[in-house]
Amino acid sequence: QAADSKREQFRRYLEKSGVLDTLTKVLVALYEEPEKPNSALDFLKHHLGASAPENPEMEALRLEVAEIKEKYEAVLEENKKLKTKVKVY
């Protein structure tokens, strides 16, 4: 019964703090979506304001960083080869 009491206290805490109401609203919004999103978790995060991984600007920046890292690695490799050639001369 102690576990039931703790659960009930926790439920009341969530209810008083508005967590249950907010979660319910977000889940209802997901339920009412005519076209379900690919990621329900991203939908929840977006609607709860936790993060916005689907932000197009952020995704573009991640792609740009990945491209720059690839170019950087290529330049390092080329530099290494050129240093080897310079040693020969």
Tokens of 1: 């019964």
Q: By percentage, how much of the chain surpasses pLDDT 70?
A: 93
The alpha-helical segments, DSSP class H, found in the chain are 2-17, 19-32, 40-48, 56-88
pLDDT at 54: 56
Where is pLDDT greater, at 55 or 4? Answer: 4
Render pLDDT for 43-57 as a digit per residue (tens, 0 to 9). Answer: 888 888 765 455 678
pLDDT at 66: 94
3-state secondary structure of 51: coil
